[in-house]
Structure 1
Amino acid sequence: MIYKEKDKTIETNRCILRLFTKEDAPEVVKLCNNYNLYKTTLNLPYPYSIEDAISWMEHHLDHFDNNKSFEFAITDKTTGKLYGAIALSNHQTFNNGEIAYWIGEEFWGNGYATEAAKAILEFAFIEKDYNKVFARCFHSNPASSRVIEKLGMKKEGILREQVKKCEEYLDLVYYGILKTEVIS
């Protein structure tokens, strides 16, 4: 992982994680206006409109500059193609953060979420000096659980029927990792 503070970018083997721009909005809509993606995410609206994309991106730079959250577009290092998004929220009171991500369905299974999440974990512990990072996903989303487990996160608990989505109550699985478990 190479973090370029001036550019607010993170470079991985295959990807560049960068801030979203308004020009990304149509592609974000194309990727997010997908019922299969909606079913796997906690807060993504469906149907997903251009207004949703613009309002979501509107405060990214302010939040980044104010150390509140860090929202990155996951893009191809060579072509710039947008694959999805990854965020690190700053829970300042407790010196920890939460990783959340989504990948467009056409790019599922290619390891982009894992690659981006590993870089964000390093960013959290090295650049932001967090003590802990956590993530959560639906129990019904084993692909997301696998991504989280590949980061070395440990399952910390299940909140039973925590979320109502698609007229069904879903369990929410919490995972976490401490800085001392990654960096000695």
Structure 2
Amino acid sequence: MQYNDIQQTLTTERLCLRLFNESDAATVTELCNNYNIYKSTLTLPYPYTLDCALSWIQHHRQNFEKEKHYEFAICDKATGTLYGAIALSCDHRYDHGEIAYWIGEAYWGDGYATEASQAMLHFAFHVKKFHRVYGRHFASNPASGKVLQKIGMTQEGVFIDHVKKEGQYKNLIYYGIVKGK
């Protein structure tokens, strides 16, 4: 994994993780206006409109520069095709953050979430010097849990009926990893 601070990009074998641009909004809208992605994410609205995408992208660069939140587009390194997004929140008080991601349904099962998550974990521990990174997923989305396991995270617990989505309470499964352990 390589990190270019000037361009604010991460690169892996197949992927380029870069900041979103306003020009990505149409593709983000197309990928996110999908009920299967909506039901697997905590805060993504549905239906997902171009205004949703533009509003979401609007603060990414500022959040990155202020070290509040790192939000990257997951793109094919060779073609530039946008597959999804990956984010890392920052809590400087505790030297930790949460990793979160979504991948467009057409690209599920290709290992992009795992590859991007490995790069983000490296970024968190080696560039941003975090002590701990955690992730969480709905119990109804075990594929996301497999991604977290593949990058070395351990399941730490289940928060029973922790959130309400579509009028139903949902369990959130938490995973975590500490640098060097």
TM range (shorter): over 0.9
Residue 26 of structure 1 corresponds to 26
Residue 133 of structure 1 corresponds to 133
**Does the residue aligned with 1:109 lie in a helix, a strand or coil?**
coil
1:167 Cα offset (Å): 2.3
Please list every run of 5 or more consecutive structure 1 residues that lacks an aligned counterpart in the other structure. none
Distance in 1 of aligned mates of 2:156 and 2:91: 18
**One-letter identity of the residue aligned with 1:55:** S
**One-letter identity of the residue aligned with 1:48:** Y
1:28 Cα offset (Å): 0.2
1:100 Cα offset (Å): 0.4
**Does the residue aligned with 2:25 lie in a helix, a strand or coil?**
helix
**Does the residue aligned with 2:44 lie in a helix, a strand or coil?**
coil
Residue 87 of structure 1 corresponds to 87
Residue 171 of structure 1 corresponds to 171
1:8 aligns to 2:8 (yes or no): yes
Alignment of 1:104-183 (within 5 A): 104-181=104-181
Residue 53 of structure 1 corresponds to 53
**One-letter identity of the residue aligned with 2:5:** E
Distance in 2 of aligned mates of 1:88 and 1:156: 19
Aligned-pair Cα RMSD in Å: 0.6
1:180 Cα offset (Å): 1.7
1:140-171 per-residue CA deviation (whole Å, 9 max, x = no partner) reads 11100000000110111111011111222110
Q: TM-score, normalised by structure 1?
A: 0.97
1:18 Cα offset (Å): 0.3
Q: TM-score, normalised by structure 2?
A: 0.99
Aligned length: 181
Identity of aligned residues (%): 54
Distance in 2 of aligned mates of 1:166 and 1:118: 31
**One-letter identity of the residue aligned with 1:61:** R
**Does the residue aligned with 2:115 lie in a helix, a strand or coil?**
helix
**Does the residue aligned with 2:93 lie in a helix, a strand or coil?**
helix
1:87 Cα offset (Å): 0.3
